[in-house]
Structure 1
Amino acid sequence: MAQTPHETVNPLTLAEPVGYSHAIVVTPGRTVFVGGQTARRTDGSMTGDTLVQQFDHALGNVVEALRNAGAEPVHVVDMRIHTTSISTYRANLKTLGPVYRRHMGRHYPAMSALGVHELLERGALVEITCTAVVPDTHDDDPLSNERALEIEVEEGLVSGPFEDPNEPGNERART
């Protein structure tokens, strides 16, 4: 799985994060917001009797939503996990880790896990939301337009009404 294009920030002055990042500096791009995903199948029925099973299916739904919006798991910059049993979530961390990595790889965005009284979806034990940022790309030109203009100006290739024809390097402006 590709590395994230965003910068993770984990200051040494904070406790070492395990399974998340303290902060993410986002590369400019297109923002994708993924609404609350539970363990619902395409027919609308819930699947999974345990929190781990539901987490697995809900995270799969998150990735499906991301990909259909043109994003990948490495573009996720923020994730929120809501569960009706934070004690069960905490007790299953060693099992949840491999499930998470199967869907998301070793990309750990800024995350929070929240214990809630109940979720809107009947029978749901977990609901996941996230935000992803797909970086801007310039498929037609490897240099951005702004950078290409800087290169042209630096090399004296641009002529225009503001050039001084007597300045060294502006020979073209004199012709």
Structure 2
Amino acid sequence: MAGAEAEPGAKTKAGAGGGGLERVNPAHLAPPTGFSHAVRAAPGTLVFLAGQTALDGSGRIVGDGIVEQFERALTNLLDVAAASGAGPSDLAKLTVFAVDVADYRLHAREIGRVWKRLAGSDYPAMAVIGATRLWDETALVEIEGIAVVR
């Protein structure tokens, strides 16, 4: 994803609703782009968010490409988080599974814009992992996460 906001080496507190999460990006590491190297959480309740794909309410995968499917999967994840009392700034860790990592990288800027529009500029610790296929055979991306709610 495109452009983390914090300066390299900076420790930044999350925005409203994410009190107690601190993004840690050591200056001697490559500057993070669209993720944080680490997120330290103050005591709170851990919420484990199951992998979400681009399923609509009827159980169909929607979206023709990686960007559209990422947007729907992230929307689904944020909806589940909200139902658990967590907002975007409470996300401490996300894992993105992509069936085509090269396509994900090719569209990283667009995916980054989707992230900023839906989740803001607080980035969790993240990883993108290539997957041969996902549970939903037509899914291009799946997102799972951990949130910390106070």
TM-score tier after normalising by the smaller chain length: 0.7 to 0.9
The alpha-carbon deviation at position 130 of structure 1 amounts to: 0.4
Tell me which residue corresponds to 2:62.
Answer: 47
Q: Of 6, 11, 31, which aligns to 1:16?
A: 31
Tell me which residue corresponds to 2:18.
Answer: 4
What RMSD in Å do the two structures reach over aligned CA positions? 1.1
The TM-score, its normalising length taken from structure 1, stands at 0.75
User: Which structure 2 residues correspond to residues 80-99 of structure 1 after superposition, within 5 A?
Assistant: 80-99=95-114
Identical residues among aligned pairs (%):
39
Q: Which runs of 5+ in 2 are unaligned?
A: 1-14
Q: Of 84, 87, 91, which aligns to 1:72?
A: 87
Question: Which structure shows the higher strand fraction?
Answer: 2
Q: Which runs of 5+ in 1 are unaligned?
A: 136-175
Residues 10 and 21 of structure 1 are in contact (CA less than 8 Å); yes or no, is this contact kept in structure 2? yes
Larger relative contact order (Cα-Cα within 8 Å, sequence gap ≥ 6): 2
Matched, 1:26 2:41: yes
Q: How many residues align?
A: 135
Q: Which has the larger radius of gyration?
A: 1
**CA offsets 1:13-66 (integer angstroms, 9 cap, x no match):** 111101100111111111111101000001111101101100000000000000
Q: Of 111, 120, 127, which aligns to 1:105?
A: 120
Matched, 1:36 2:15: no
User: Structure 1 runs of 4+ off > 6 angstroms?
Assistant: none
